[in-house]
Structure 1
């Protein structure tokens, strides 16, 4: 069914009755007999696409499997997945609780509610009823967050490369903070600092504390 929907999207088929005609055109053997019984019980010309999928899944998926996949959908959250991975899984599982995503606004709301806490408030603040727009905003926000995290990490690395900070304490004692332990500068300064009675080294482990 996923392949059929992909082909219909590529063909830009929008009307439900045309989708159903094209989807059932190549039915054979058991599927063809099943579809014949459906046409006898339903007004196919008035049937919507979601109803067709619902009947199809009822026929070809065991009810226990459908309930299992429905439970997975209900509990689905982004977690450690990227937005793209989360959206793919969301789309795959949303085939089964069709009654929950029949209206696009409900589908969009469920997708947004499963996003990570850091992203969800921003997407909700600009909530769109259009599912594709919500997905696009989440993808763009993810890129922005990754970019900011990368810049923050670069700043931390530069800041921690090595610096001395002096704080004047009582009675003229100076504290030297070293954040470049193991560097050539650290090895050069340590013997000198240890010879000064008024200096204590802060942030080091060993006998010099």
Structure 2
């Protein structure tokens, strides 16, 4: 049997094609299959062998080793996150440089509340749009609804945390409000009492209490209380305030002013007189409320009544009328309890004065 031989032209043509393929350097890995697949007579192992040979001859693998390594890493990362699915883009992603740090900004409670409110509105709107998109989307795959669901849960959680933060800011704004500091003009508008220095100990005590209460209402600072109160001093009291050496010290506190004021206008003679009046005080023909008011007014000037609630309760009970005291002795212990029981007994005994036809 004769052995078939190829024509000379075909052999030359094949060798020329082989030399031509060796001289052309592949530009990318995607061009290699195109060059090799033109030979339909080669099977898969031969294709892989020719690819390796071409890469080794032209140094393509060394030139692109770093690029291929990055693409493989990107491919593995994407495949790991998508369950092995083939990604469409294999190029490595270049990250943007980090943003510069924002400067520290000091804001009050109202500004923070406005910012939080706008953020919540934005998050709520995004959540609503995402929910609508998840309901309207139609596709063949089963992963997209799950992605939408996770994003929706994330935005919902962010909105909840933002709302809680806004509530914390609200509480902080209520706990530490920005209070307006009062002035002497604000104090004068409330009509404080005037003091001339000749009214007596009871009026002096009333003036001191009135001035201190009004300064607290208009929020007069501690370092301005003495000067503010001195506006209401006239005649003898004004002369004392100007000439008293102990008042001329710098940074005079309000507590020191009160001590000096009482030392001047709460004389020992007046104190002794009020103490004697307190010791003789009894209910007599007074109602329980009238007796309690006089008891409170006079006991304020008795030293042994200060910080002694048991002594105060016994002294008040001792001054009640006999018919009321019999009911109070075995029931109440403190001053408040004795006063409450005495008022009830007085009502039952009909001693409360009539104030109209309805009583």
The interval holding the TM-score normalised by the smaller chain is 0.3 to 0.5
Task: Give 1 or 2: higher strand fraction.
Answer: 1
TM-score by length of 1: 0.47
In terms of Rg, which structure is larger? 2
What TM-score comes out, normalization by structure 2 length? Answer: 0.30
Instruction: Indicate the structure whose relative CO is greater, using CA pairs within 8 Å and at least 6 residues apart.
Output: 1
